Structure formats: C-alpha cells, structure tokens
Amino acid sequence: MPPERQPPSGCVTRPIIRFERGRRSEDEDRLAEEVPVAMHFDGAPFAVMMTTPADLEDFARGFALTEGKVDSMLDIADIELREVLEGIVVDVRTCRSRHGGEETSPRSTAIAGEAGSHTRRELPGRSGCGICGSRELEDVVRHPPPVAAGPTVDAGAIERALETLRTRQPINAFTGSVHAAAWALPDGTIVEVREDVGRHNALDKLIGAMLLARHDPRDGFLVITSRASYEMVTKAAIAGMTIVVAISAPTALAVHLATDCGVTLLGFARPGRFNIYSRAERIR
C-alpha cells in the first residue's frame, strides 16, 4: 500500500466488491476499527465499551473521571493495557488500591450520590450509547454540580475552531465514519482533538488527554462533531467545561441539564451560524 494510503491508528482497509452505474469491480474500502474494551478498576470489571482502539490511555483517564471512579489525575497510579482474544482489557489502578483505602472524597461522593454499589455496570456499552449496563436511574441521569464562570467567546472564535477541526481528524478523513471531540482556546485555536466511533468515547479520550496535558477546562470551549446528548453535556460538566459547541442538535434533556449546571450549550454549529440553547451570556 502506498505511504499516503497507510491507515492511521484505529483504521483498517478491507477488500470489497464495488457496484456503480451497472458495473462491478474489485476495490478496497477504509474502515474505522471497533473493538470491545473491557474497563477494569483495580482489577475489578466495570464496563465493556465498543471503542476505536486508539488513544486508549486517554480514554481510560477520561472515562475514569466522568464515571466518578477518580477525582483527578492524582488518583490514577497506573494504566495497564492488555490485548486478549476477545478484545482489549484496560485496568486502571488507583492510588487507593496501593494503600488499601476506600474512595471517600467529597467530590466522588457527590457524583455517586447514594448509588453506592449500584455504580457497577454489568452490560456492555455500545459505540452509540454510553449508559448501557447502568442498573439504576440515578446512575444514568446524573446532575453535576454547577460549573465555574468560564470564558467569554466571540462568534469568530467558534467559526475558526469549526474550520480548523475539519483538518484535524485523520481517522475521519480516512474512513468518514467517526466522531471527534476538540478543545479550543477562547480565540478559537484548537489544542487537542480525539476521535472514536462513539461520540462519548471521543469526549472521554479528549478529557483524558487534557488531564495529562494539564489543560484547564475553564480556559476554553468544547467542540463535538455529534449531537449534544444529555450524556455529552454531563461528561463535559463533570470535567469542568463551561461551553459546549455541537455540530448537530441537542436533546431536550441536554438543554435542561446544561441550564441546570450552568453550561453554555450551542447546537447546529456551522461556519457563520449556530443556535444558543442555554447561558447565552458567554457568547459575544
């Protein structure tokens, strides 16, 4: 395969029969990989997510934070990736496992509420759904605490971020089939991008990358190439992000949660236009 057609990480090529305008020909197509990734915490199974196998350590960090398993990077002692016949096992070792203690910090208690052991998942999470396996309603519809004041962003910065993002998605450029989550500074400069077949997985990967790079979530805004579901807003708020810009539509529950926790939510964002659904004072 020529170097320019070498697939990026998380992609493969497969032979196909192409039928076009009455003609049949042999060809190859570019596909995004999707594999089961078993998330373990301190050796205990928690969830199985269908994920693009790229940036999995970032995914582990972000997933651990947004699922309330850790409060910060400081709580993560080690991340172990292990390939098995069925997929990939990712084991996040927390600091409490080294000291034999229990997680009792105020923030983790607030996130978990009174669910306690109910936060354990038992079913796989599919690539289009981040809540499969949650056993109780309180595990699903979480209400994050209010976010900080955050920056004020002008429409030109949002447009710049949207334009730049088109050039920062190698997996999507190769396959045309994955979502991206990007972090932009208030002037529209994109500093981090992560991709995945699952929109929530892409966001968890981005959050994990931001944790590692020590980007302050209060110093910029989030851009996602998907609809703004309530879970995307919840994960963003848990991470401390104050502005969410979605290329597609939000859901009614997402708007409710964004309003409730102080997140500015934009939908149908395109160069030159967008809708503001909550906390419009952050957008100039």
269 appears as a binding residue in the annotation: yes
Active site residue 95: no
Q: Comparing C-alpha atoms, which of 125, 100, 132 is closest to residue 38?
A: 125
The reply to whether 284 sits in an annotated binding site is no
Q: Which pairs count as long-range contacts for 261-269, CB under 8 Å and 24+ apart, including other chains?
A: 261/143, 261/144, 261/145, 261/146, 261/147, 261/233, 261/237, 262/146, 262/147, 263/147, 263/233, 263/236, 263/237, 264/150, 265/228, 265/233, 266/158, 267/227, 267/228, 269/158, 269/162, 269/223, 269/245
Ligand-binding site membership of 271 (annotated): yes
**Using only C-alpha atoms, what is the Rg of the chain?**
19
268 is in an annotated binding site: yes
φ and ψ at 243, to 5 degrees? -130, 125
Q: Which of 95, 129, 132, 261 is catalytic?
A: 129
SS3 assignment, position 163: helix
Residue ranges of the annotated binding site are: 268-273
- Which positions are catalytic? 129
